[in-house]
Amino acid sequence: MTIDSLPIRERSVVAFDCETTGLHVEKGHNIIEIALVKHNPDGSVEEWSSLVKPTKRISPSNQAIHGISPSMVEKAPSFDDIYPQLQEFIKDCILVAHNSEFDVGFLKAEAERNNLPVISDDLVVDSLAMSRRFFGFPRNNLSVVSHRFHLMTPHAHRALPDARNTIYIFWAMLEDIEQRTEKQLTVSELQELCEKYHKRGEYKKNIARTITQAKREKRRISIDYISRDPSKPIRTRRELEITKWDSPHLEANCMLRGEPRRFHLKQIQRAEFTTEVEQTEPDLSIAAEPTTDYEPVSEVSSESET
């Protein structure tokens, strides 16, 4: 059985993060710090990190972000020195990065410059894509998503703390997604779901179709809605009577709250017809209390799709 055909929970997962001299790999910017945090199936955690001596100078704007100065990396090992340790650490593991295109891009570029084996991104999962597709928070950077899952983010923008945060939010998001799908997912299944949950993907199109049909036929729908308020549950379930549908905004009477509310399509993660005609109690397995993050109809949202 291949690694990508096994449930993610049965494999070791490594979150990784890179700090760099600049933001543009195509301009030859270098990795100056890399960190790996491994979560094993038995629950144990391993960590590895290293500063890396660059061949290009650290841009002042990037130094202001991560706080790594030229003097800190002057005597650090070179990338080709640390690469064998990195390869051994991630062997047979699933890789996770927040904005993996950035981190994997730098790893590949550094390996190519040094004539070293380039890692495959077949088993790379992007936690940024997971956040955007499955949760649709107003902002999806690492600090915001970590805070939404009740994780403090001290020393953000250093590789090891960011890798720790990434592994934490990955497991938190995966648990929520697997509750929705009612199965343990493989990497390929998770990646496929990410595509379906894209704002222009089939899943969102089906949600829009359901809303359109419900509006036309004057039927109630039940939705799962992502809360923007960190003090509330991630998802809440509500039964609605639609009054206006102007995608991506939905105006409806919320049966639980007994008042009109406005919802944004990117935060709706499920929409199904309901046959109930009487007001129903909330599903307490999803929301323990009413939320207040919905927009009153009188307010106009400036929120746009991510």
In this structure, what DSSP letter does residue 71 have? H
> Under a CB-based contact definition with an 8 Å cutoff, are residues 253 and 259 in contact?
yes
Please tell me the distance from the alpha carbon of residue 130 to that of residue 69, in angstroms, as a whole number. Answer: 33
Residue position matching structure tokens 């592994």: 167
Residue 21: Cβ-neighbour burial (10 angstroms; 0-12, 13-18, 19+)? buried
Long-range contacts of 105-113 (CB under 8 A, 24+ apart): 105/25, 106/18, 106/20, 106/25, 106/29, 106/30, 106/31, 107/18, 107/31, 107/34, 109/25, 110/30, 110/31, 110/79, 110/83, 111/83, 113/79
> Under a CB-based contact definition with an 8 Å cutoff, are residues 13 and 167 in contact?
yes
Of the listed 24, 29, 155, 157, which one is catalytic?
Answer: 157
> Under a CB-based contact definition with an 8 Å cutoff, are residues 236 and 230 in contact?
no
Q: What angle do CA 7, 228, 124 make, to 5 degrees?
A: 30
Give strand pairing partners of 186.
Answer: 7
Please tell me the distance from the alpha carbon of residue 191 to that of residue 121, in angstroms, as a whole number. Answer: 12
* Those residues with Cβ within 8 angstroms of residue 304's Cβ, 6 or more apart along the chain or in another chain: none
Residues found in the chain? 306
Residue 157 annotated as catalytic: yes
DSSP conformation letters of 217-242:
HT--EEEEEE---TTS-SEEEEEEEE
Catalytic residues: 157
